[in-house]
Amino acid sequence: MKSNNGKDSKRLYVGVDIGGTKIQGSLVRESGEILCREKQATPREGGPEVVLAIIEKVIDGALKKGGVDVGDLSAVGIAVPGVVDPDRGFVVVAPNMRLTGVALGAHLEARYKIPIVLGNDGNLGALGEAWLGSARKSKSALYICVGTGIGSGLVLKGKLWRGDRESAGEIGHMIMQPGGPRCGCGNHGCLEALASRTAIERDLRQQVVAGRTSVITELTGGNLDVIRSGMIRKALEVQDELVTEVVRRASEFLGYACLNVRHLIDPEVLVLGGGVIMACSDYIMPIIENIVGQDPLAGARDGGKILVSALGDDAVVLGAVAAARRLVGRNPFKKRFRIQPKYPQITRYRFGEITVARKSYTHDVYIPVSGKVKKRRVPQDAEAAGSKHVVGAAELEKVCKGGPEVLFVAAGKSGLVELTDEARRYLAHRSIRLEIHPAAKAIEGYNKSKQRKALLAHLTC
């Protein structure tokens, strides 16, 4: 791909999310379309130089996968789990990462010779959700990322509220239990020390050592050093008593934290994301919603939605790209710089056949935000319902990857397709509008729509 010198919508960026368990680098178009990803495990041993080497490795890997050179990039955005000084490109403190005191921006600018911007991972996750995710079009949004730690960020009218000391939004270090467990920041009883995945891991290990039995021991192969969010989800699905107990307690702390935030700043939307939420939202969200919903202190009007991240693992890297775009004068929140992905046109439909961009398909298909046509495979929830025309939440996780504003469902000629209650909740939690119609009307709507969109097309009903 030739360097375009910033003259068209094919400008490229790399966003990097430095996490507690993995470091992800993504090559991204100016529209927010992710072209490829490179992930590496976060090193647990060694000093800053080891982490820096992995950061460079994911950037180089993303470029190689995308078939481009560093000269094709407009800028790079880096998300750091800690307090950073974006103006100096300096990591002030990273409680769970060996980057404290590192001039990360200067190091990477010297290495790649392109503009580099740093930001707190919670702040950039909030920026990503406000740009393309569940908080799109909201005037105020608070994002809480529950993963290895707990990060957060506040966006007001497309601008981050960073605070006087670059430490605003550190909800993970809000004291929820004075004298409680020690947090990585040095304080005791922080939300992060009570409700992050690290806290859940600690509580599960302590209980197992004390003699409690749990399926989590089997799921981890007996090694409880790192308990992945997916393992916690599997244990919840089989109603493991210990895991359910520990996660319920963590969820309650999250619920009261959300209630405190609502009382303090009353954002239009509050978005929860991160590995724990994305894996276990079916269990965690009702607990949080119940706590906030029982608040006796009424507001002047309805509002204050509690949502789930529509971008998932990509929220932070897309926020990093939004910051990189702003750095080079291409602010995605300004109307003249808003660029939509290019979508294929559906040129023909008849019973059992659909033609997309001149290629015909004789099976059910879906088109996510990326615009790439994919074959629909009948999911387990449809098989359990005895009809391939039942759409569940698990299927929508694939169809809605990338955070569409609207999902069109082409329900064949007869309109027999049905969404489960869980699927409708999935869409509502992510502010994704549903348009379900007989095939011809749904396809017409998809072709005409100017929004970020996805399509699920059933051809044989």
Residue 301: predicted pLDDT: 82
114: its two tokens: 């392109």
Q: Choose among 336, 329, 235: nearest CA to 283.
A: 235
Strand partners, 13: 28, 75
Residue 176: which residues within 8 A CB-CB, separation 6 or more? 189, 190, 191, 194, 253, 256, 257
The pLDDT, as a whole number, for residue 350 is: 87
Q: Residue 161: what pLDDT?
A: 94
Residue 112's pLDDT is 97
Instruction: Please tell me the predicted confidence (pLDDT) of residue 299.
Output: 85
Task: Look up tokens 């040095």; give the residue.
Answer: 186
pLDDT of residue 213: 96
- Angle CA(102)–CA(108)–CA(111) in degrees, nearest 5? 130
What integer pLDDT is reported at residue 191 of this predicted model?
Answer: 98
Positions of the chain with pLDDT under 70 = 1-9, 379-386, 461
Q: What is the pLDDT of residue 3?
A: 37
Contacts of 403 (CB under 8 A, 6+ apart): 132, 133, 134, 136, 310, 311, 369, 430, 432, 452
Q: Class for domain 346-458, per CATH?
A: alpha beta
Q: Is CATH 3.40.720.10 the classification given to domain 12-121+315-337?
A: no
Task: Identify the pLDDT of residue 340.
Answer: 87
Contact by Cβ (8 Å): 318, 285: no
Quick one: fold of 134-310? Nucleotidyltransferase; domain 5 (3.30.420)
Whole-prediction pTM: 0.92
Tokens 């490179």 -> residue: 38
User: Residue 379: left (phi > 0), alpha (psi -120 to 50), or beta?
Assistant: beta
Q: Residue ranges of the domains in the chain?
A: 12-121+315-337, 134-310, 346-458
Topology agreement, domain 134-310 and domain 346-458: no
- From the list 12, 32, 151, the residue with the least C-alpha distance to 405 is 32
